[in-house]
Amino acid sequence: MNFLRRPMEDYKGRQIGCAPGTHAALAEMILKHVKPEGAVVDIGTHSGALLLRLKDAGFSDLTGTDLDPTRFDVPGAEFKRLELNEPFARAFQKKFRLVTSTDVIEHLDSPRNFLEQVHAMLEDGGWLALSLPNIASWRGRIKFLLKGELWGFGTKNYISQRHISPITAEQMTMMMKEIGFDLVTSGSAGSFSTPLMKVISSPAWMLSRFLPGLSPLGECAIYLARKVKPDAELKQPLHYRQRWQGIPDKIGLAS
């Protein structure tokens, strides 16, 4: 028995593949803003635990996707095997009202491609809800202070889980805006810490509460965004915009 780390949690017997509490917090965030109607797809669905939670909340047109089909168990839901490092929006013949994806994007070669594919899958005004490791958590801030490395993205995580694409809150906000998402709300949630671990680490996490940025208390960052038009201006960096058009400027040159 591990007295410092909680085991993986489940929802009605379906294992959840991220920190305990993350699915509940993301579902609560969704239900505050999104009516339970229209088609829903959970990308990287694992057992389908989040889909089942949404089904219990009133959503009905459900699809789960994953490379691993062996653990998916949501009665009445469709399943599609999907490779996310390739263009995948074309695998679907319909548009979705809601796309969810928990602790998936950090495993992918190109988070930008993922967001672009999701944008193509959504109906106008559709919603994206996702989670990923919170590198700004109190653990993450301590690790970066001491080692200059990102929490959740060390050698062990690379080899065992292929955690290869860390994303800060500011990066996520800007990527979403450029690709065509209006960030409605964000936060942090979930923790593997046991009550004993929370007591032992209380000086660190209590002090971290006063630091700026995304909340450091949750081990997962959670986001809810709505599909809008891409921001084309963000594809044209100010320092290079004129030169890309063949127009000389003096940016970066000594006066």
Give the pLDDT mean for 10-34: 97
The whole-chain average pLDDT of the chain stands at 95
The domain locations on the chain are 10-244
What does each C-alpha distance from 246 to 203, 237, 243 come to in angstroms? 56, 14, 5
Give the pLDDT mean for 181-201: 96
Res. 79: pLDDT tops 80: yes
Of the two residues 250 and 208, the one the predictor is more confident about is: 208
Give the pLDDT mean for 62-91: 96
What does each C-alpha distance from 100 to 127, 144, 212 come to in angstroms? 8, 29, 27
Crossing angle of helices 22-33 and 49-56, rounded to 10°: 40
Give the pLDDT mean for 115-142: 97
Confidence at residue 84, expressed as pLDDT on a 0 to 100 scale = 97
Confidence at residue 98, expressed as pLDDT on a 0 to 100 scale = 98
A 10 A CB-CB count for 163 gives 19
Confidence at residue 255, expressed as pLDDT on a 0 to 100 scale = 61
Res. 183: pLDDT tops 70: yes
User: What is the CA 183 to chain-centroid distance, rounded?
Assistant: 12
Question: Where does residue 195 rank: exposed (0-12), middle (13-18), buried (19+ CB within 10 A)?
Answer: exposed
* Residue for token pair 């940025």: 213
Cβ proximity of 82 and 66 under 8 Å: yes
Domain 10-244 adopts which CATH fold? Rossmann fold (3.40.50)
- Residues 6 or more apart whose CB falls under 8 angstroms from that of 123 comprise 38, 95, 96, 97, 227
The DSSP H or E segment spanning 161 is helix 155-161
Confidence at residue 228, expressed as pLDDT on a 0 to 100 scale = 98
Give the pLDDT mean for 89-99: 97
Give the pLDDT mean for 7-12: 96
* Residue for token pair 């109190």: 138
Res. 202: pLDDT tops 80: yes
pLDDT band for position 140 (50/70/90)? very high
Cβ proximity of 50 and 26 under 8 Å: yes
Res. 139: pLDDT tops 80: yes
Distance separating alpha carbons of residues 41 and 88, to the nearest angstrom: 13
Q: Tokens for 144, please give them.
A: 């970066």
A 10 A CB-CB count for 54 gives 27
